């Protein structure tokens, strides 16, 4: 056998961690002493391994005036987690102090006693992402400058007309200038149109995503909400801007969120929070809200952009309109030097064209970095012009297989169903939203069944013509499969509860309202929903207090359990058992109870029969034991001088012992039946001879006469001792319960394939409502005026013996005329000595 793989030692574990691509470090103490840092973290710091063992302030002095060292100390002291997104930090790298932006987390690591033993530090350099977003904002500003430039050109055209009226000699120059202005206007309009289309595409992405996006300016005023906000809240964008949405936050979450928001706004840092928001459907929705501060190119604070979804979101940003007063003043000066500006216009247009190209590149980069699958398809020929890694992963294709290719050649297995849908979107300009569509994709050569949420979003030009289709998708296979598993479990639980005939219910403590299952309604005879008062009205008067007592205990322990009686409409009494678990609200107050109810009437009857049996058994054993004890005491006294009573006392002791032996044998027979150890030794014997032998005690008693009728020379194959036990039990019962019946009739009959033996008396008979229970364990029928001994096991054992022989047993009785007990046995032709269990 091979030795087990030894566990990693500390050095091996550290060596493994050093290879992770995520920047990771481990610190201890309030000074954040560096115990470990992998290469990715050292690269971010711009340091080497010489910082290991140093405090963070000593290793990186440039952090002394920044908040990070104090954050480490707070995490160490309080055992908490501090994280941030797009957080600026000034770091000295290669001798140059520069500002970088990070997503980071300081996480306290605790031992089994809850004591902080280390701080795990992870970080991701997001400087490029942050700067790209700022460049996108600057592109919007450039668009406004181009619009202003168009206005200046119109003013220039008017100035040229005035110059034409003043000086005809400059006519040729003015015409040339006018032509240049027209060309300039056309070029500017083309550039503005391109920028507008770029912004419209970006807005279309935001308005057609499920992410809730909102923007505040630097004063905290709401200035933008996308369509997802309106769909969730039921308010238009203008209503959200004017009224806000804080009143929709759940009362228990509102103040906490507002405090966090105000603190983050004041400090201009990122924040995230979980909260519940009242939707237009009247229910609360849990949202993970993240807020990120915005800064202009000069570093000034421009407000916040927020998203309400737990994935990296596409963010729309709007920049505040610039104050045009200074620009208008500058425009007057520029108008005076218009000739000089015309000379430089071509250079500015070239720069604008380059900026437009950069804006397009940033747009493409935004698509590629998006956290959802995105594919842009040209409408005229369905060629994929842009696709990100998320989409390639979703369809299981490489970039070479999909980019710059016909979409349905790249994803041929989806063409039959989704090609007509895409054509309809191109034709109508109406987006198509797919929810949990099931399809088979050939991912990396393997067919896989997946579920996808997706959108075919048409992108139009300024004339409304669809120029491309943007496909946004998300693989929700895990979510769908998890939901189906939950539904399967719920169905199995429902079937199990129905099979057990258990009723389920929910009790609202606040409303005192009970909602029950069909079985619950059947047990209580009510119709759900019903008030608790209606249910309690069915309780037995003597048990009415049990419910309040049980619920008082349940409020403290969280568990409900009690048994009670209920009275049905027909005055029948049932026993029921109620169990349940109490649920509390966030403040610890009882909210509701989920429970079950079961009809235990049959169980109670069995328990009662058991109690009756114990009482009867005690009484039956006590009588012979008392007699035996008295006889033994008398024998003890006369052992030295016997008298004429000695034989009588010995006979009395023997009878008491026989009675005790009979009672013990009946109990042992029941035990053998329960354990399946009853053995039948079948053989051929004469039934009439067996009856004569076993019933001699009747003749000895002299109180009754046994009359045997029917077949006198009939042989059967059965266990002679067991059949004898059944007949003796029938005859003894006739003697016991019909003492006035002088004659007892035993009849033997042979039928088609069976033999029937019956014992009839002319006693008081048995009530009809007792007949179905005679062969049950511990059941006794004591006719009025007759005190009969016994454990109530004789007929139960007899029924088991006959059933093991493959026969039937029964009783017929009419009150006042007597009873007939009978059994049948199959008439077997061959003998068998094999035991049967």
Same domain, 161 and 306: yes
pLDDT (average), residues 65-90: 92
Q: Give the mean model confidence (pLDDT) for residues 413-441.
A: 91
Q: Is residue 614 part of a domain?
A: no
Is 683 within a domain?
yes
Q: What percent of the chain has pLDDT over 90?
A: 14
Q: Given this model, what pLDDT does residue 206 score?
A: 62
**Model confidence pLDDT, tens digit, residues 647-666:** 766 776 776 676 666 666 66
Give the integer Cα–Cα distance in Å for 275 and 249: 7
pLDDT in tens, 637-652: 676 777 766 776 677 6
416-420, 621-625, 666-670, 773-777 — most confident range = 416-420
What's the rounded mean pLDDT across residues 124-135? 86
Q: For the packed helices 687-694 and 720-737, what is the interaxial angle rounded to 10 degrees?
A: 50
Q: Please give the C-alpha separations between residue 411 and each of 381, 402, 407, 422, 426, in angstroms, as whole numbers.
A: 15, 8, 6, 13, 19
The proportion of the chain whose per-residue pLDDT surpasses 70, expressed as a percent, equals 73
Domain identity same for 155 and 274: yes
How sure is the predictor about 463, in pLDDT bands with cuts at 50, 70 and 90?
Answer: confident
The pLDDT assigned to 88 comes to 93
Instruction: Summarize the confidence of residues 557-571 as an average pLDDT.
Output: 87
Give the mean model confidence (pLDDT) for residues 779-807: 68
Asked if 161 and 290 sit in the same domain, the reply is yes
Q: Are 112 and 140 in the same domain?
A: no
What is the pLDDT, as a whole number, of residue 221?
87
- What is the number of domains present in the chain? 6
Which CATH number is 792's domain given? 3.30.565.10
Same domain, 438 and 517: no
Kindly list the distances between the CA atom of residue 203 and the CA atoms of 375, 482, 645, 784, in Å, as whole numbers in the listed order. 17, 34, 119, 95
Same domain, 175 and 199: yes
| pLDDT value at 39 more than 80 | yes
Shared-domain flag, residues 175 and 45: no
The CB density around residue 359, as the number of other CB atoms within 10 Å, is 21
State the pLDDT confidence band at 139, using cuts at 50, 70 and 90: confident
Average pLDDT rounded to a whole number, residues 191-220: 69
pLDDT score at 90: 92
Is residue 319 very low, low, confident or very high in pLDDT (cuts 50, 70, 90)?
very low
613 domain-assigned:
no
More confident residue, 122 or 494: 122
List, as own/partner pairs, every contact residues 247-251 make where C-beta atoms lie below 8 angstroms and the sequence separation is at least 24, other chains included. Answer: 248/277, 248/278, 249/275, 249/276, 249/277, 249/278, 250/275, 250/276, 250/277, 250/278, 250/284
Q: How does DSSP assign 697-719, residue by residue? A: HHHHH-S-EEEEEE-SS-EEEE-
Is the pLDDT score of 514 beyond 80?
yes
List the Cα angle 805/809/811 in 5-degree steps. 165
State how far the Cα of 131 lies from the Cα of 404, in Å rounded to an integer.
29
Q: How confident is the model at residue 829 (pLDDT cuts 50, 70, 90)?
A: very low
**Is the per-residue pLDDT at 28 higher than 90?**
yes
Give the residue with greater pLDDT, 759 vs 146: 759
Residue 523 located in a structural domain: yes
Residue 490 lies in a domain: no
The answer to whether residue 148 scores a pLDDT higher than 80 is no
Helix (H) or strand (E) holding 437: strand 432-443
Residue 744 in this model has a pLDDT that exceeds 90: no
Check residue 81 and give its pLDDT: 93
CA angle 262, 268, 270 (to 5 degrees): 90
Quick one: 622 exposed, middle or buried, by C-beta within 10 A (0-12, 13-18, 19+)?
Answer: exposed
Same domain, 199 and 337: yes
Radius of gyration of the chain (CA): 48
The reported pLDDT for the residue numbered 787 is 43
CA distances for 334 relative to 156, 339, 340, angstroms: 10, 9, 9
Q: What does the pLDDT read at residue 772?
A: 82
Which pTM value belongs to this model?
0.33
Q: Answer yes or no: is pLDDT of 823 > 90.
A: yes
256-300 pLDDT, tens digit per residue, is 888 988 888 888 888 888 888 888 888 888 888 888 888 887 788
Is 491 contained in some domain? no
Report the pLDDT value the prediction gives residue 76, as an integer from 0 to 100: 93
Strands 705-710 and 743-750: parallel
Confidence check: pLDDT of 623 > 50? yes
**pLDDT at residue 494 tops 90:** no
**Are 160 and 276 found together in one domain?**
yes
Is 111 found in the same domain as 140? no
CATH number of 104's domain:
3.30.450.20
pLDDT digits (tens, 9 = 90+) for 683-710: 888 888 888 777 765 555 556 788 888 8
Q: Select from 672, 696, 713 the last residue of a domain.
A: 672
Could you give the CA distance from residue 312 to residue 208 in angstroms, rounded to a whole number? Answer: 16
Q: What is the pLDDT of residue 78?
A: 92
Q: Domain end: 67, 96, 125, which one?
A: 125
Whether residue 565 sits in one domain with residue 430: no
Q: Which domain holds residue 507?
A: 500-599
Instruction: Please indicate, yes or no, whether residues 627 and 698 belong to a single structural domain of this protein.
Output: no
Mean pLDDT value across residues 507-518? 87
Residue 335 in this model has a pLDDT that exceeds 80: no
Domain boundary among 125, 157, 176: 125
pLDDT value for 663: 60
Most confident of 34-48, 269-283, 678-692, 770-784: 34-48
Q: So what's the pLDDT on residue 533?
A: 87
Q: Sort 432 into a burial class: Cβ within 10 Å, 0-12 / 13-18 / 19+.
A: middle
Does some domain include residue 470? yes
Is residue 706 included in any domain, yes or no?
yes
């Amino acid at each position: 056998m091979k030795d087990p793989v030894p566990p990693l030692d500390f050095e091996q574990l550290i060596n493994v961690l050093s290879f992770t691509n995520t920047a990771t470090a481990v610190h201890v103490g309030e000074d954040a002493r560096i115990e470990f840092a992998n290469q990715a973290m050292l690269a971010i710091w711009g340091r080497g391994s010489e910082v290991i063992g140093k405090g963070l302030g000593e290793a990186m002095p440039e952090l002394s005036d920044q908040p990070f060292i104090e954050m480490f100390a707070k995490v160490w002291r309080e055992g908490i987690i501090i994280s941030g997104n797009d957080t600026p930090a000034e770091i000295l790298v290669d001798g140059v102090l520069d500002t970088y932006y990070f997503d980071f987390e300081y996480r306290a690591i605790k031992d089994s006693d809850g004591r902080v033993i280390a701080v795990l530090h992870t970080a991701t350099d997001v400087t490029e992402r942050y700067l790209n977003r700022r460049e996108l904002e600057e592109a919007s500003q450039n668009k406004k400058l181009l619009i202003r430039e168009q206005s200046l050109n119109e003013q220039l055209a008017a100035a040229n007309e005035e110059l034409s009226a003043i000086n005809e000699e400059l006519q040729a120059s003015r015409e040339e200038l006018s032509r240049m202005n027209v060309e300039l206007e056309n070029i500017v309009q083309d550039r503005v149109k391109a920028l507008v289309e770029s912004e419209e595409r970006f807005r279309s992405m935001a308005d057609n995503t499920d992410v809730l996006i909102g923007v505040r300016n630097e004063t905290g005023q709401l200035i933008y909400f996308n369509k997802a906000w309106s769909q969730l809240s039921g308010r238009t964008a203008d209503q959200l801007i004017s009224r806000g949405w804080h009143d929709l936050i759940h009362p228990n979450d509102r103040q906490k969120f507002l405090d966090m928001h105000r603190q983050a706004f004041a400090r201009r840092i990122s924040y995230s929070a979980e909260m519940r928001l009242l939707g237009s459907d009247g229910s609360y929705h849990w949202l993970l809200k993240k807020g990120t501060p915005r800064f202009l190119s000069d570093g000034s604070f421009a407000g916040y952009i927020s998203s309400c979804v737990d994935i990296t979101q596409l963010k729309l940003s709007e920049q505040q309109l610039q104050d045009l007063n200074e620009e208008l003043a500058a425009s007057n000066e520029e108008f005076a030097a218009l000739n000089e500006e015309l000379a430089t216009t071509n250079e500015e247009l070239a720069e604008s064209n380059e900026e437009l190209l950069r804006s397009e590149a940033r747009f493409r980069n935004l698509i590629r970095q998006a956290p959802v699958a995105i594919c842009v398809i040209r409408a005229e020929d369905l060629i994929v012009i842009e696709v990100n890694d998320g989409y390639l992963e979703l369809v299981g294709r490489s970039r070479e297989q999909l980019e710059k290719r016909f979409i349905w050649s790249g994803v041929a297995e989806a063409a039959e169903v989704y090609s007509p849908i895409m054509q309809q979107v191109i034709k109508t300009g109406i987006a198509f939203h797919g929810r949990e569509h099931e399809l088979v994709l050939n991912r990396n050569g393997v067919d896989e069944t997946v579920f996808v949420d997706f959108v075919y979003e048409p992108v139009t030009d300024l004339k409304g013509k669809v120029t491309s289709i943007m496909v946004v998708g998300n693989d929700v296979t895990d979510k769908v499969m998890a939901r189906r598993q939950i539904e399967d479990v719920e169905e199995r639980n429902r079937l199990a509860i129905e099979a057990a005939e258990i009723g389920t219910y929910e009790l609202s403590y606040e409303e005192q309202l009970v909602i029950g299952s069909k079985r619950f309604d059947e047990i209580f005879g009510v119709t759900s929903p019903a008030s608790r008062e209606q249910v309690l009205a069915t309780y037995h008067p003597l048990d009415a207090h049990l419910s309040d007592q049980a619920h008082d205990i349940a409020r403290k322990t969280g568990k409900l359990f009690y048994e009670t009686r209920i009275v049905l409409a027909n005055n029948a009494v049932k026993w029921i058992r109620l169990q349940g678990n109490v649920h509390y609200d966030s403040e610890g107050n009882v909210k509701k109870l989920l429970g079950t109810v079961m009809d235990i009437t049959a169980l109670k009857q069995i328990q009662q029969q058991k109690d009756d049996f114990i009482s009867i058994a005690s009484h039956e054993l006590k009588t012979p034991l008392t007699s035996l004890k008295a006889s033994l005491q008398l024998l003890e006294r006369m052992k030295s001088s016997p008298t004429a009573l000695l034989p009588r006392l010995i006979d009395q002791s023997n009878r008491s012992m026989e009675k005790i032996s009979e009672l013990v044998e009946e109990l042992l027979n029941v035990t053998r039946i329960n354990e399946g150890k009853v053995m039948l030794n079948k053989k051929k014997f004469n039934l009439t001879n067996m009856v004569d032998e076993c019933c001699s005690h009747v003749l000895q008693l002299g109180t009754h006469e046994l009359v045997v009728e029917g077949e006198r020379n009939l042989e059967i194959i059965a266990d002679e001792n067991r059949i004898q036990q059944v007949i003796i039990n029938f005859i003894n019962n006739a003697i016991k319960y019909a003492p006035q019946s002088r004659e007892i009739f035993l009849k033997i009959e042979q039928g088609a394939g069976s033999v029937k033996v019956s014992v009839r008396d002319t006693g008081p008979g048995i009530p009809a409502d007792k007949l179905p229970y005679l062969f049950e364990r511990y059941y006794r029928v004591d006719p009025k005026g007759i005190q009969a001994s016994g454990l109530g096991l004789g007929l139960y054992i007899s029924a088991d013996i006959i059933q093991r022989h493959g026969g039937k047993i029964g009783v017929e009785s009419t009150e006042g005329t007597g009873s007939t007990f009978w059994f049948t046995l199959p008439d077997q032709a061959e003998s068998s000595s094999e035991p049967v269990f």
